[in-house]
Amino acid sequence: MTKLATVNELQESESTNSTLTEQLLAGGADGWLEQKFDEQMEKYKASKTPSMAIVVTKGSLDWAYPPFILASSAAALGWDVHLFFTFYGLNLLKKDLSLEISPLGNPAMPMKMPFGPEWFKKINWNVPNAISSNIPGFEKAATGLMKQTMANKGVATIEGLRELSLEAGVKMIACQMTVDLFGYDMDEFVPEVSDWVGVAYV
């Protein structure tokens, strides 16, 4: 019975090889290889988890929103997400977040008033840099107005978005060079930082 099974297997193998040879001769080896390659690539794409990596270099309130919004949204969709925090972006990993916006650094940024009638709230108050840079306390006032406007619109805080990202499995990686450069203490940062790495990290 075993010998018979072996003979059958050999015959099937020869038949398969013969069919393969006929296909190669009829369609050409290049065409067959291209077809097999395409099939394997489709299988690979179907099984691969989409991924996203964002380099975070800014630490102001307005620049903190894009990476956390993108990261939390992608992670909620099942993506594998990594955020790499370097230079001023490393401030977003601190336990104590005291973020402000800088109208001087964002000359095209319109100011919005979070109070008053709707027509008043819709006005874009484009304050010239010459004024915003010379008024004491202007950045704190602008930060307060921005936070209130976001709260009125139901926009989550940076702390909330960061927590949401961590819960969704986003990996937050800190730049060790920046830590050394600015003399930060490791205790200043949230414990959820997944790694402290240099530029050669893969």
CB atoms near residue 20 (< 10 Å): 11
Whether 7 has a pLDDT exceeding 80, the answer reads no
**Strands 195-197 and 80-85, sheet pairing:** unpaired
Q: Would you state the pLDDT for residue 201? A: 59
User: Could you report how far apart the first and last alpha carbons of the chain are, in Å?
Assistant: 55
Structure tokens at 143: 């930060």
Please tell me whether residue 80 adopts helix, strand or coil conformation: strand
β partners of residue 54: 83
Beta-carbon contacts of residue 110 (< 8 Å; ≥ 6 apart): 124, 125, 126
Side chain identity at 109, as an amino acid letter? M
Regarding predicted confidence, which is higher, 179 or 111? 179
The DSSP output letter for 134 is T
pLDDT of residue 3: 46
Q: What is the mean predicted confidence (pLDDT) over 1-6? A: 48
pLDDT tens figures, 12-66: 555 555 665 565 555 566 676 777 777 777 766 666 778 899 999 998 888 899 9
Helix (H) / strand (E) containing 135: none
